[in-house]
Amino acid sequence: MKNKKYFRVFLLLFVFLFFTAAFLSGCAEMEPDTIHNLKVQVKKLNKKAGKLSQSNTYLEQKIHDIQVNIANQGVKIADINSKLRDIYGKYEVESHNLHMLQKRFRDYRLIVNKELITLLKHAQIKPPVEKTFPPKKAAVSVSPKLRGFNKGIDSYKKKDYANAVLAFNKFISKYPQSKDIPDAVFYKAVSNFNLKKYPVSILEFHKFSEVYPKNSHVPMAIYLQGMGFLKLSDKSDASILFQQVVSKYPNAEASKLSAAELKKLSK
């Protein structure tokens, strides 16, 4: 009984050792292939690691280049900002200077307008007083008067306005009682206007309108007075004078001209 029991134990031990040896023998046979496969995998991993390393170096170089480029762009932007600040500073200075000039110009215009209004208020030309003179001989007729007046008219028609003013001044001074004085005063004012002596012509047109209110040249005198103010950039006074012509002398040629100027001013 005991022998059978030992035999079984021995048999089981033998089978166990046999299978263990077979298993270990199989593992020993597979070990070289496994090591080879592992080496291949390691080589592949090393290659991938190398490529990744190269790619990382390339990316680092690119990042470095981008950072350098950003730094350079930052320097350029800072330079542009500096120039813009300089330009803005100069603009502020010029803008301030322009503002000051505009203010001075407005102040100057106010002074000129005040002086002009004062002159207009105090300017007076006495109307010609009819005097009685003893009858003159036929030899001393009115022809010298006509020659003096015609000289001014001829210069005016030739657009020689400077000589026209001289001739009319001489005529007005020498023959203050002549019936041609109103025309001489008017054309003298027109000549000064054409010579661009606008303040002078404004005064002369005002005096003419005051002294000879019923003269046919009055509408044109007021219109040209308005044009004189317009040339001096005084649109307000010019507009008042144009409206005066349109309302008081609707049928005059000067009324059409004044209406046209008012239309321009309203735009």
- Categorize the per-residue pLDDT at 128 as very low, low, confident or very high, splitting at 50, 70 and 90: very low
Angle at 216 between CA 233 and CA 261, to 5 degrees: 30
- Each residue of 75-96: pLDDT tens digit? 878 877 777 677 667 656 776 6
- Each residue of 156-200: pLDDT tens digit? 999 999 999 999 999 999 999 999 999 999 999 999 999 999 999
* Bigger pLDDT: 245 vs 146: 245
* Bigger pLDDT: 238 vs 28: 238
Token match 């007075």: residue?
A: 225
- Categorize the per-residue pLDDT at 44 as very low, low, confident or very high, splitting at 50, 70 and 90: confident
CA–CA distance, 44 with 63 (Å, rounded to integer): 28
Quick one: three-class SS letters along 163-180? Answer: HHHHHHHHHHHHCCCCCC
pLDDT computed for residue 238 by the predictor: 93
Top mean-pLDDT range of 21-30, 47-56, 123-132, 151-160: 151-160
